[in-house]
Amino acid sequence: MRIIKNTKAHRVLILNAKGGCGKTTIATNLACQYATENQITALVDYDPQASSTCWLEARPAHMPSIHSISAYQHKGQMTRTWQLNVPQGTTRVVVDTPARLDTITASKLIKEADTILIPVLASAIDIRAATQFLESLMKDSEFRRLDRRIAVLGNRVRKNTKAYAKLQKFLDDLNIPFLTSLRDTQNYVRAAEEGLGIQELSHKSAQKDSIQWHSLVRWIDGEQDLVIQHSAS
């Protein structure tokens, strides 16, 4: 297991204006991957549905620790800045966001992020919405001035479809990588119910998925340019 000593935590923002695209699945499994690598990890939940927070509450005590920050709540007399502080020594921060995130909060989170991941579902509607979202994001002059790594992650996106081909062409034109497509498997459902990441499941069938997450964090951390296998459904 590796330990990277950073003076500043690397912040990964999971963002998409459309709901139901798998932001929480990405956020929880990414946080798990970092935690299993001995990174001091915080998971920040901005979604009022509190899916990431509930996942952490179900997490077994003996598993690698992940610090929880419920950013959707305002806790009593605690100042907002203090509430959102991550523990000293934190090396990785994963931020889960809701659909229709307000403009002010979205702008703040984008400025703070080092990497932005945009999940996309397989349907034509979701791919079209993601295309429109990316187009508006890339047109924003303030965003273009920021030095941010940005990539798209597919949830059950099949490579041999016309919708995939259209999205791939659009991303190529914007020079945005399409990192990987996550399998449509009950392993993610099982892991979510148990407060685990897919890489923490003992099932043999989860091993090929675990490899994807290892490769993903290598790209986020700048240790590889871009080679992440697309997993078959």
Q: Which CATH number fits the domain that encloses residue 43? A: 3.40.50.300
Beta-carbon contacts of 123 under 8 Å, excluding residues fewer than 6 positions away, are 163
Residue 15 lies in a domain: yes
Residue 230 has a pLDDT of 46
**pLDDT, position 83:** 60
Q: Is residue 16 part of a domain?
A: yes
C-alpha 101/C-alpha 165 separation (Å) is: 28
- Per-residue DSSP letter, 88: T
Residue 78 lies in a domain: no
Q: How many domains does the chain have?
A: 1
Is 1 part of a structural domain of the chain? no
- Please choose, from the candidates 225, 195, 213, 125, the residue with its C-alpha nearest in 3D space to the C-alpha of residue 166: 125
Residue-number span of the structural domain to which 36 is assigned: 11-72+87-220
Q: Is residue 129 part of a domain?
A: yes
Does the residue 229 lie in any domain? Answer: no
Q: Along the chain (233 residues), what's the average pLDDT of each consecutive run of 10 residues?
A: 54 90 94 95 94 96 94 64 76 93 87 92 81 85 81 79 77 82 86 94 85 88 61 44
Instruction: Report the 10 Å Cβ neighbour count for 201.
Output: 18
Task: Check residue 27 and give its pLDDT.
Answer: 96
Of 135, 169, 128, 166, the closest CA to residue 150 belongs to: 135
pLDDT for res 144: 78
Domain membership of residue 157 (yes or no) is yes
Is the residue at 232 inside a domain?
no
**pLDDT (0 to 100) of residue 226:** 53
- Return the pLDDT at 192: 94
Which residue from 133, 131, 196, 189 is spatially nearest to 156, judged by alpha carbons? 189
- Cα within 13 Å of Cα(86), Cβ side: 20
